[in-house]
Amino acid sequence: MGAFRPVGRRRLADDIVEQIRHLVTAEGLETGARLPSERRLAERCGSSRAVVAQALRTLALMGLVEIRPGSGAYVLRDPASMVSASLNVMMDLRHGSLEDLSQLRLWLETLGALEAMGTGRADETVAGLDETLAQLGADGAGAGSLVAADTNFHARLVAGAGNPYLTTLYESVHTAILELEYDHWVRTDDPPEWFGAGHARQHLHLHQRVRDAFASGDGTALRAALGHHHRAMLEHLAAVPR
C-alpha cells in the first residue's frame, strides 16, 4: 500500500486513478483481486471517499475494475495491458467533432473485428466475448459492472486481431468517448438511462448480435451489427448534456 501519496486539489479523481492503477501493477494484483475499501483508499490518498468513488467509476469505464454493489471493487485486468490508458488522445472533445471521433472508433473496431475473424484465435475471441456477455446479462449487476463488461467486450473483439498498435489506438479513442458519455455517472453515481431495467435487455442484445455475427464468420453481418451498435452509441451521446 506504499504506492499511495496525498494529492493536490486539481484533478483529484484523475490522480487517484493513476495511483490505483499503479497499485494494481506494483502489487501484482491478479484478476478477481479485491481492492481496498473506498475508506481505506481515501485514507491512503489523503482524499475523500466521494473522489475515490469517482476514480473507481473511471477505472470501470476503462474496463480495469468491476464495481460490485455491496461488495467492493475488483480487478478485471492488469492496467499494464492497456497501454492506451497512459496515452493522450490527439484530440480535444470540446474542440473537435464527437461524431468524427465516434466514426473513427467504428472504423477501428470494424477493422479489428474483421481481422480477428480470420485468425486462428477466433474461437478464443468468441470465448472472451461470451464471458463479458455473461457479465452484461447478470441479474442485479450494477452500472460499475455493466460499463466495465461493455468496455471489455469491445476491447477483446479488437484485440483478437493480434495487433497491439491497433488495440492501443482503438482503446484510446473508445475511452475518450466514454469519458464524455458517462461523465455524469462518474461524477454523481447516477447510472445512465440505458442501464435501467427497461433498457438492459436491449443493451445486451446489441452486443449479442455482434458476438453472433462474429462467431458465424459472416463479415457482412458483422459490419451491420457493429453499425447498429454505433448508431445506438450516437443516440446515447446525443442525450448527454453539453
Segment 67-104, tens digit of pLDDT: 998 899 999 987 766 544 443 434 443 445 778 889 99
User: Where in the chain do CATH 1.10.10.10 domains reside?
Assistant: 12-80
Report pTM: 0.74
User: Where in the chain do CATH 1.20.120.530 domains reside?
Assistant: 91-238
Cβ atoms 138, 205 nearer than 8 A: no
Number of alpha carbons in the 13 Å side-chain half-sphere of residue 171:
28
Segment 155-191, tens digit of pLDDT: 999 999 999 999 988 988 898 888 888 888 888 988 8
| Mean pLDDT over each residue of the chain, to the nearest integer | 85
Instruction: Give the single-character DSSP code of 76.
Output: -
Share of the chain above pLDDT 90, in %: 47
Segment 220-236, tens digit of pLDDT: 999 999 999 999 999 88
CATH number, domain 12-80? 1.10.10.10
Look at domain 91-238 and name its CATH class.
Answer: mainly alpha
Residue 97: count of CB within 10 angstroms of its CB: 11
Rank 3-12, 113-122, 217-226 by mean pLDDT and report only the highest.
217-226
Report H helices in the chain.
12-26, 38-45, 49-61, 98-117, 122-136, 143-159, 164-181, 183-188, 197-216, 219-238
How far is residue 230 from each of residues 25, 148, 168, 227, measured CA to CA in Å? 33, 18, 19, 5
